[in-house]
Copies of this chain bind each other. A is one copy, B any other.
Amino acid sequence: MAYLQPLSFTEENYLKAIYSLSERAESFDTSTNEIALKTNTKPPTVSDMLRKLADKKLVTYEKYKRVQLTKSGRQVAIQVIRKHRLWEVFLHDKLEFTWDKVHEVAEQLEHIRSEELISRLEKFLGYPTNDPHGDPIPSANGELTQAKRIILSDVGEGKVCYVVGVKDSTSPFLQYLQQLNIGIGTKIKLIERIAYDGSLTISMRKGQQISVSKKFADNVLVTV
């Protein structure tokens, strides 16, 4: 559970990668090649690292088999994600970075080592529950409460929902969102669904109605 030696940035990054690859629908493990892809390294490098992480009891791993995080490995990964997301909130809310630029800087900040820093930062930010992309922020003890999120396309006609995130986080999409003045927390009412092409008529704020494509609505995450 506790790990004596602090982990290197590199080790933290591998654990984070393994976490995100493992926590997908219906898979609790991942593979050497997938990790290599995600971390921009080559498979042999990953093999070495997996042996090392297994020695430290952070992953369960046997040659030629798929990898899984142990309980402590998962805790480390979640703490890194917690730090990443809190820094993203800071960059977005306080420093006014745009959505599409917070990630890169947070990638660096997430490795700063100081419990006190993170708890003070969290307090300073007002104990946020979601990052600027709508992803939930794990609590200090590693709990991750995920509100039920659906895509905007699946909201019923006449229903009201709140934007909590996006599925696509590429720049063009994020920029379009900004143009439409849609962000985290935006309240949206679904006026009408056009059967022909799945496009939606929605209204926001002062009743201004706009039309958005199905492709767009598939990439906006909301809670009802």
Contacts and interface: CB of A to CB of B under 8 A. Distances in A.
Interface of A: 91, 94-97, 101, 104-105, 108-109, 112-114, 116-117, 120-121, 124
Given A105-B117, A117-B105, A95 B124 contact: yes
A22 B182 CA distance: 52
B108 A120 contact: no
A28 B124 CA distance: 42
B101 A120 contact: no
A124 B117 CA distance: 18
Given A124-B94, A124-B95, A112 B105 contact: yes
Contact of A101 (B96, B101, B116): B116
A20 B94 CA distance: 32
Contacts of A97: 116, 120
Contact of A95 (B95, B105, B117): B117
Contacts of A113: 108
A97 B117 CA distance: 8
19 contacts: A91-B117, A94-B124, A95-B117, A95-B120, A95-B121, A95-B124, A96-B120, A97-B116, A97-B120, A101-B116, A104-B114, A105-B112, A105-B116, A105-B117, A108-B112, A108-B113, A108-B114, A109-B109, A109-B112
Contacts of A114: 104-105, 108
Contacts of A105: 112, 114, 116-117
Nearest 8 A/B pairs, CB to CB: A95-B120, A108-B112, A105-B114, A105-B117, A95-B124, A94-B124, A109-B112, A95-B121
A207 B97 CA distance: 45
Contacts of A120: 95-97
Contacts of A94: 124
Nearest to A108: B112
A24 B101 CA distance: 40
Contacts of A104: 114
